[in-house]
Amino acid sequence: MSTHPARGLSRVLDDLGPSLLDLLLGDPASVTGIGGVGIHDPHDEQHYPERAVVLGVGVHGTEETARLMRSLTGVGAAALVVRGPVDTADLEAVAEETGIALLALTRGASWAQLAAMLRTLLSEGDVGGTDEQTLGGVPAGDLFALANAIATLLDAPITIEDRRSRILAFSGRQDEADPARVASILARRVPERYLRLHEEHGVFKELYRTDRPVHIPPPTLGDEVALPRVAIAVRAGDEVLGSVWAALREPLTEEREEAFKEAAKLVALHMLRFRAGADAENRLRADLVTTALEGGPGAVAALGRLGLADEPLLVLAMGLGATSATGGDHARRAAERQRLASALAVHLTAVQPRS
């Protein structure tokens, strides 16, 4: 396995949790310099990258997990991922003893999905690397390229939508669809009248209940002419990220239905990568705010990049109360901090859009 540049567990959790990973034990801020991904195989000699995140495929129970954590100290592993649920009560002492962070693969997520996302994330910015990262042969996070690939696969125009029916990306050939699709593309979201129809007919309930493509008859709205749809939910573990919709003139063959199902798994990887890019923008903004608050020569430039230079400012600070620093607390506090930050951001943006 190749060695990757230094990455921290906090960054991994920011980008992949809670869709794929849950922190069980350990302080993510102290786990830095992650070198790559390793897969545990009890029947083969192990060669892990330096400071690896080890995937404990097939590891079950407290005793087996503790034994593996202790053995990983000899190879310098940084973290171990096991399939949840995990009883952490008897593992806290082991985590303290070994210094290895323990994470759980989210219920419903696949090891292959996690390995692909970890390798993509940890390989960003490889020294001397000039090749663009790809997932399934498509540039990572390029949902438009992926939509076109699926459109070719199904021979139908495609949209990729989030949970709120906002259009994240669409393929070419939308002129072959119908006025409903054109209206959705122009507004970058599905019109309310069509959403109401789908809700009345239980489309979303069925869509999020199954991992198979769902066939939707054309909506009836006055004199509008519409095509049938086939849609499939996009999942990362138990989290529904969104859906993919195809406007069809002919029913899908059995082979194309299977291809559509497999394509949805690839869309999940790209949507996670796409979301990671948005998270990176948020991290940059947080870094600029920190620089501005610290003062010094970089403060003025940071305020300029934030669009807040030469204006009166009011600084509000919010924090969580002190608590013990056990592994479980780190996970709970990280989740609570994120919830509070999001709620405060929504409130401040409503009051002052430039907040």
Q: Could you state, in order of their start, the residue ranges of all structural domains in the chain?
A: 9-130, 138-272, 314-355
Distance of CA 22 to the CA centre of its chain: 13
Mean pLDDT of the region 212-227 = 82
Q: For 115-147, what is each residue's pLDDT tens digit?
A: 877 876 676 433 333 344 555 556 656 788 888
Q: What is the pLDDT of residue 21?
A: 86
Mean pLDDT of the region 307-313 = 81
Q: What is the pLDDT of residue 118?
A: 82
How do beta strands 52-55 and 36-39 pair?
A: parallel
- Alpha-carbon separation of residue 183 from 86, 178, 352 (angstroms): 47, 9, 31
Q: What is the pLDDT of residue 35?
A: 85
Contact partners, residue 109, CB within 8 Å, separation at least 6 = 19, 20, 236, 237, 238
Q: What is the pLDDT of residue 243?
A: 96
9-130, which class in CATH? alpha beta
Q: Return d(Cα 247, Cα 219) in angstroms, integer.
A: 12
Superfamily covering domain 138-272: GAF domain (3.30.450.40)
pLDDT-based confidence at 24, cuts 50/70/90? very high
Sequence letter at residue 145: A
Q: What angle do CA 202, 206, 207 make, to 5 degrees?
A: 115
Mean pLDDT of the region 323-344 = 60
Contact assessment for residue 115 and residue 55, using Cβ atoms and an 8 Å cutoff:
yes
Q: For 148-175, what is each residue's pLDDT tens digit?
A: 889 999 999 999 999 889 888 888 888 8
Contact assessment for residue 102 and residue 79, using Cβ atoms and an 8 Å cutoff:
yes
Q: What is the pLDDT of residue 277?
A: 61
pLDDT value at 176 more than 60 = yes
Dig out the tokens for 247 from the structure. Answer: 């406007």
- Alpha-carbon separation of residue 22 from 85, 103, 300, 347 (angstroms): 10, 6, 38, 27
Percent above pLDDT 70 for the chain: 79
pLDDT value at 276 more than 50 = yes
Q: For 39-78, what is each residue's pLDDT tens digit?
A: 988 877 777 888 899 999 989 899 999 999 999 998 889 9
Q: Return d(Cα 306, Cα 150) in angstroms, integer.
A: 38
Biggest distance spanned by C-alpha atoms of the chain:
71
Dig out the tokens for 275 from the structure. Answer: 């979301």
In this structure, the number of other CB atoms found within 10 A of the CB of residue 140 comes to 23
Mean pLDDT of the region 8-25 = 80
Mean pLDDT of the region 316-339 = 64
